[in-house]
Amino acid sequence: MKILLSIKPCFVDKILTGEKKYEFRKKLFKQDVDTVIIYSCMPIGKIIGEFTVEEILEEKPVNLWAITKEYAGISKKFFLDYFKNRSTGCAIKINKFQQYNTPVDPKRTMDNFVAPQSYRYIDEITYSQILGIAN
């Protein structure tokens, strides 16, 4: 399954440089996900690339930080604030990131596009349309 994941531009930049190899979420997806398509939130507002999921970790935040801190791309304080009052957290390990040649305006590929609050599942037809514009 493929998902479109909203990520703030400052974190997208860190993914592009390889400084960030984990994307953190408070909850796991309801379906198995193998590909994450990155929507860089406003002011960018474009789909900029994708990555395959190497693994998804679900741990107590203190354990999750110990595992991911080297490539978290965020400060420990930011991490702890994000997972405050949570018994578990999730980290998606980024594998094989591919930046698109041309960023895609999702309004061109998805009817009535609204940026996902967190994520949205992507069907194969929409995925093919995204790739057709991106490459």
Q: What CATH number is given to the structural domain containing 105?
A: 2.30.130.30
Q: What does the DSSP 8-state code read for residue 41?
A: T
Q: Is the pLDDT of residue 20 over 80?
A: yes
| Sheet strand arrangement including 46-59 | 22-25, 89-104, 46-59, 35-40, 2-7, 119-122
Domain that holds residue 62: 2-134
pLDDT (mean) for 27-31: 89
pLDDT at residue number 34: 96
Based on the structure, what is the number of domains in the chain? 1
Residue 135 has pLDDT above 80, yes or no: no
pTM passes above 0.75: yes
Q: How far apart are CA 135 and CA 130, in angstroms?
A: 9
Kindly state the average pLDDT of the residues 38-46.
96
